[in-house]
Amino acid sequence: MKNIKYLLLSAILVAFTACSDDDYDYNPAPEPLPELTTGSVDFSKYVAVGASFSAGFTDNALFIAGQENSFPNILAKTFTNVGGTGFSQPLMGDNIGGFLVNGNVASAPRLFFNGSAPQVLPATPTTEITSHLSGPFNNYGIPGAKSFHLGIPGYGALNPYFGRMASSATATVIGDAVAQNATFFTLSEIGGNDVLAYATSGGTGVYQLGNMDPSSYGSSDITDPTVFAVSFKAAVNALTSNGAKGAVANVPYITNLAHFTTVPHNPLSPANPAFGPQIPMLNSIFGALNQIFTAIDPSRVIVFSETAASAVVIKDESLTNIAPQIAGALNASPTFPAFIAQFGLPPQAAPLVANLLASTYGQARQATADDLLVLPSSSIIGTVNTASVAALMAQGLSQELAGQFSVEGVTLPLADKWVLIPSEQADIRSATDQYNQTIETIAAEYDLALVDFKSILQTASTTGLSDGNFILTTALVRGGLISLDGVHLTSRGYAAMANEFLKAIDAKYGSNFVAAGYKADLGAYPTNYSVTFR
């Protein structure tokens, strides 16, 4: 795949005829920009608090170039024009990404684009994450941080990114940030990680609605909205305790990100030589089950097309498990022994096969456009699940037959971790909406600028986000906004985010960064980093 470059918008040239040179000025002087003003804000000491976006995490890693192109660092450079001082960040040791723990690789290097797909950089990280850095720092963007993590004493023992920069073994993120006595702050993407792990895991966690004890949460659970509200208000209250002003950002619907929109629900092409020739046999196999599905729930019928792309088969845990009905119907069918004979199985194997089919397809259906397949599913769809093969062989099937019934997304339904079904998406949306209501209310209460990141990402995922000469979208690789991991922004995306903060700051506090020409030039920031960049 060739790298796709963004075309600059060209100016429209208008030809004028029958006019003298005195009539038109072909080189008009540009309109003078207004003098830069700060409005009601003192930008001399800026501190950023947040998670991976604030840190500059990109291409599935944290590394020097990404940190230097983080949106807080871009803002800090802009603020130097109005008295802003230095902006210190806990820089990693290289541009490889990833890190070591006591000399062993504990987090993989960044991704790069190999011409056809994202790939892990073939290099070894050099950042020893246990080596402590001396502060103070201005950027407290902590990858992985959830809302309630900000106030946990000793959080550095739980999160190595904070551990390497924490002021003490018992420090809190918000405490260290407040200790910098900032005159201006940003509090961004708080709430994103409260739903992200649930989403990227395909909804394997739990929506902890009503559970006010976050210490009991699993790593992939959705944070209760009240827990979020208490945590967010505590952070804002602490950051404004000295009279500082600031800007907060709300939470986008993360399901608009490329991690959830890149893999189609129907990737099975009849033109694929590994799949197309198998379609008649597959439809024959599912034909025996479809009679049962039709009688119980027609939406579960599984049919593969010989002329168009077909949807993958998934396990939908929200469906009633009809395994007993499947087993009962197959065992009662006088034609079932003859049916399994086509696979070389003796009649006495009928009960075994009936039970295997029942356990496999009791909650199965084909995906629809309402289902979201997570990005990593692209690497396993159509592959043989070796664990399934071993389990089926242990039940008495031959290795060949066990392999035929273990093809991911075809004969073996995709597990929960690969798919966000509509009910799981609804939980994410419900939590996000409640988080955003809290953020909006608190921003108004504390008279803070509010960046509507939710609407910004929605625009990018539909018509595209326009900024200067660029239109950024959420498409993987070619969209310019989302990095190769499908979740975090590119450096160009972070520059666009910095510009959105400037717009909100201008609107709230009467400054004029945008009108005075102090927006970040997106063309100065890359969308990816090469394999040789170290």
Cα–Cα distance measured from residue 199 to residue 207, given in angstroms and rounded to the nearest whole number: 11
Q: What is the rounded distance in angstroms from the CA atom of residue 262 to the CA atom of residue 390?
A: 31
| 388 and 241 within one domain | no
Instruction: Please list the pLDDT of the chain residue by residue as tens digits (534 residues).
Output: 333 333 322 332 233 233 334 444 556 667 789 999 999 999 999 999 999 999 999 999 999 999 999 999 999 999 999 999 999 999 999 999 999 999 999 999 999 999 999 999 999 999 999 999 998 999 999 999 999 999 999 999 999 999 999 999 999 999 999 999 999 999 999 999 999 999 999 999 999 999 999 999 999 999 999 999 999 999 999 999 999 999 999 999 999 999 999 999 999 999 999 999 999 999 998 999 999 999 999 999 999 999 999 999 999 999 999 999 999 999 999 999 999 998 888 999 999 999 999 999 999 999 999 999 999 999 999 999 999 999 999 998 999 999 999 999 999 999 999 999 999 999 999 999 999 999 999 999 999 999 999 999 999 999 999 999 999 999 999 999 999 999 999 999 999 999 999 999 999 999 999 999 999 999 999 999 999 999
380 and 452 part of one domain: no
Give helix then strand counts, H and E, for the chain.
17, 15
Q: What angle do CA 402, 408, 410 make, to 5 degrees?
A: 85
**What phi and psi, each to the nearest 5 degrees, are found at residue 516?**
-85, 5
* Residues 177 and 76 both lie in one domain: yes
Same domain, 402 and 295: yes
> Quick check: 519 and 468 in contact, CB under 8 A?
yes
Distance of CA 149 to the CA centre of its chain: 19
Q: Tell me whether residue 509 is in a domain.
A: yes
Closest-CA residue to 193 (of 159, 167, 157, 240): 159
Q: How far is CA 512 from the centre of its chain?
A: 32
**Which of 394, 420, 446 is the endpoint of a domain?**
420
CATH code of 453's domain: 3.40.50.1110
Both 257 and 323 in one domain: the answer is no
Same domain, 385 and 512: no
395 in any annotated domain: yes
Q: What is the pLDDT of residue 26?
A: 55
Residue in the structure block whose two tokens are 């959705």: 222
Question: What is the distance between the alpha carbons of residues 429 and 289, in angstroms, rounded to a whole number?
Answer: 34
| Whether residue 59 is found in the same domain as residue 204 | yes
Residue 15 lies in a domain: no
Q: Do the domain assignments include residue 19?
A: no
Residue 532 belongs to a domain: no
**Of 363, 391, 420, which residue sits at a domain end?**
420
Residue 26 identity (one-letter amino acid): Y
Run of H or E including 139: strand 139-141
What angle separates helix 422-445 from helix 225-239, to the nearest 10 degrees?
30
**Is the four-CA dihedral 432, 434, 438, 441 of positive or negative sign?**
positive
pTM score, whole prediction: 0.92
Q: Which residues partner with 470 through β-bridges?
A: 467
- Residue span of the structural domain in which 116 resides: 46-261+422-524
Nearest to 376 by CA among 200, 528, 257: 200
Residue 485 forms part of a structural domain:
yes
Instruction: Answer yes or no: are the C-beta atoms of 381 and 433 closer than 8 Å.
Output: no
Q: Does residue 318 sit in the same domain as residue 257? A: no
- 409 and 439 in a single domain? The answer is no
Give domain status of residue 530, yes or no.
no
From the CA atom positions of the chain, what is the Rg in Å? 27
Do 511 and 389 belong together in one domain? no
Asked if the structure places residue 270 within a domain, the reply is no
205/338 same-domain check = no
Tokens representing residue 512 in the block: 């004029």
Same domain as 463, residue 398: no
CA distance 383 to 124: 29
Q: Pick from 405, 420, 435: which residue ends a domain?
A: 420
Q: How many domains does the chain have?
A: 2
